[in-house]
Amino acid sequence: MKIGIWCVWLMAIGAVEERSVETVHTVKIQGFPVNYRAQVGQLPLEDSVSLSYISYVKEGVDDASTRPITFCFNGGPGSSSIWLHMGLLGPKRVVLKETGGAVAPYQMVDNDFSLLDVTDLVFLDPVSSGYSTASDPKKYWNSEEDLKTFAQAIRLLLTRMDRWMSPKYLCGESYGTARAAALASDMQQKNRLYLNGIIMVSPVLDMQTVSYGEGLNDLPYFLSLPSFTAAAWYHKKLPLDLQLDLSKALLEAEALALSDYAAILNKGDRITTAEREKMIIRLSRLTGLSAPFLERSNLRVSVFSFAKELLADQKKVIGRFDSRTLGFDTNPLRREINYDPSTEAVFGSYTACFNHYLVSDLNWKSDQEYVPLASVSWDFVNCNNQYFSVVSDLSDTLMRNPQLKVFVASGIYDLATPYFGALYTFDHLGLDPQVRKNVTLQLYEGGHTLFTDPAVLPKLRQDLQRFYVNPSHSTR
């Protein structure tokens, strides 16, 4: 059932029109009905910014102060929240195959894995994505202004929804995890808003771990190795002993990455011919790549080159977001992939289902386009000639707020933000052992958008529910 309630007025700040509509619904989650109220809206902020949001609040709660509320967003930068919304957390879910594909007519079902039975949810879209707009959108295509708009939106929504007394959580995916870490620090110090928890899906907190390029940064090369091994295993490119045991293959790749491989890369041009030849053999064993290719790559293979080369003999490329996904090589002479088949596999279904859902279920009528992923030229400001990083922000926030819990979920088939990079990052937070216990790290047999794999959803839902109800330290 849905009942539409429209609200339109002008705010004093910036004279941006505010518009919202509410509807009431019921969804069955894990066998139990949950009654809830949905609200779609555009929230006016200062400087003529309008941020779009969708909230879900469970009905029949006697004391809202005991009910968690979670603010959710994806990454990009420039991505709307459509992916977390329709893939994992919201009351509706897009139906996909194992590796994310779907063909029209698309299917959307009640989400039995939603967390709406555990927490109220608010999905936020950054400027230029979703329905979020600004008079000068480019001004907000940077880490600093993006942070300000999200912090302001969360503060206003907590006030309007009368939820300051509730347990408060953030849930970010990809770059959204960096945003979450920065938000936690910023709101704690400036607004005295202390969070109860942060959920990080496919995290990247330090761009040095994923930034390939010429020069002195060899971190992403050895941190990507275990993910290359997982992809090669899936496509049956490993030797028999590794092909029979994925866990053994990953452990061998991780051990090599942190020891001899990192040491060889650190030597640079000082490595000997014998060292080079020995490392080529070991890397070939763990990646399925040929010795000549590894030689030409100077032992340094980016995810873009790997995705192109692994199945080059079949004229196929693999996905960056999910290395299990296959696509045709549209340009065999190109050295790197020029598109990602794992994103192409989900864009059509998510866009179609979400636009249909807005009109048919949420009663939102608008001719404005909902932008799933904006093409933005992002500026990582205030880096002081370093790679953008929020590691110190997160570490400081955890130490100052020892009640804060963090849940980290990574997929072994994710080449965009490799899981070993996440483990490496959290191993370098410099936390006191007592605080370190507040961080939960979990690996899944999925890609970057973990929730697009229906086989991952039951375990991920179970782990997240446990995180809210009884957060406790656990690792892979």
Three-point CA angle 138, 140, 144, nearest 5°: 135
Three-point CA angle 169, 206, 52, nearest 5°: 45
The whole-angstrom separation of Cα 114 and Cα 92 is 8
Mean pLDDT of 422-427: 97
Across 104-108, 227-231, 431-435, least confident range: 104-108
Mapping DSSP onto H, E and C, the string for the chain reads CCCCEEEEEECCCCCCEEEEEEEEEEEEECCEEEEEEEEEEEEEECCCEEEEEEEEEECCCCCHHHCCEEEEECCCCCECCHHHHHHHHCCEEECCCCCCCCCCCCCEEECCCCCCCCCEEEEECCCCCECCEECCHHHHCEHHHHHHHHHHHHHHHHHHCCCCCCCEEEEEECHHHHHHHHHHHHHHHHCCCCCCEEEEECCCCEHHHCCCCCCCCCHHHHHHHHHHHHHHHHCCCCCHHHHCCHHHHHHHHHHHHHHHHHHHHHHHHHCCHHHHHHHHHHHHHHHCCCHHHHHHCCCCCCHHHHHHHCCHHHCEEECCCCCCCEEECCCCCCCCCCCCHHHHHHHHHHHHHHHHHHHHCCCCCCCCCCECECCCCCECCCCCCCCCECHHHHHHHHHHCCCCEEEEEEECCCCCCCHHHHHHHHCCCCCCHHHHCCEEEEEECCCCCHHHCCCCHHHHHHHHHHHHHCCCCCCC
The whole-angstrom separation of Cα 278 and Cα 320 is 28
The whole-angstrom separation of Cα 228 and Cα 257 is 11
CB-based burial label for 150 (10 Å; 0-12, 13-18, 19+): buried
CA 132 to chain CA mean position, Å = 20
Residue 12 reports pLDDT greater than 50 = no
Kindly report the average pLDDT of the chain as a whole number. Answer: 92
Mean pLDDT of 82-109: 88
Convert the pLDDT of each residue in 43-73 to its tens digit: 999 888 999 999 999 999 999 999 999 999 9
Please give the domain boundaries of the chain with CATH numbers for all domains: 5-208+347-469 (3.40.50.1820), 219-342 (no CATH)
Mean pLDDT of 196-217: 92
Q: Which two tokens stand for residue 429?
A: 């937070």
Mean pLDDT of 18-22: 91
Mean pLDDT of 321-330: 94
Share of the chain above pLDDT 70, in %: 94
Q: Is the dihedral of CA 409, 182, 139, 192 positive or negative?
A: positive
Residue 6 reports pLDDT greater than 70 = no
Nearest to 36 by CA among 2, 72, 71, 83: 2
Higher pLDDT, 338 or 12: 338
Residue 303 reports pLDDT greater than 90 = yes
Distances (CA, A) of 59 to 25, 34, 63, 121: 9, 8, 11, 13
Residue 196 reports pLDDT greater than 70 = yes
What pLDDT is stored for residue 383 in this prediction? 66
What pLDDT is stored for residue 10 in this prediction? 33
pTM of the model: 0.94
DSSP bridge partners of 18: 9
Convert the pLDDT of each residue in 379-388 to its tens digit: 887 666 678 9
Query: In this structure, are residues 70 and 122 in contact, taking their beta carbons and an 8 Å threshold?
Result: yes
Query: In this structure, are residues 228 and 287 in contact, taking their beta carbons and an 8 Å threshold?
Result: yes
The whole-angstrom separation of Cα 180 and Cα 171 is 7
The reply to whether omega before 77 is within 30° of 0 (cis) is: yes
Distances (CA, A) of 465 to 71, 449, 468: 16, 19, 5
Q: Match 């295509």 to its residue by tokens.
A: 141
Q: Match 């928890």 to its residue by tokens.
A: 197
The whole-angstrom separation of Cα 225 and Cα 419 is 10
Reported confidence tier of residue 472, pLDDT bands at 50, 70, 90: low
Residue 430 reports pLDDT greater than 60 = yes
Reported confidence tier of residue 97, pLDDT bands at 50, 70, 90: confident
Reported confidence tier of residue 339, pLDDT bands at 50, 70, 90: confident
Residue 14 reports pLDDT greater than 60 = no
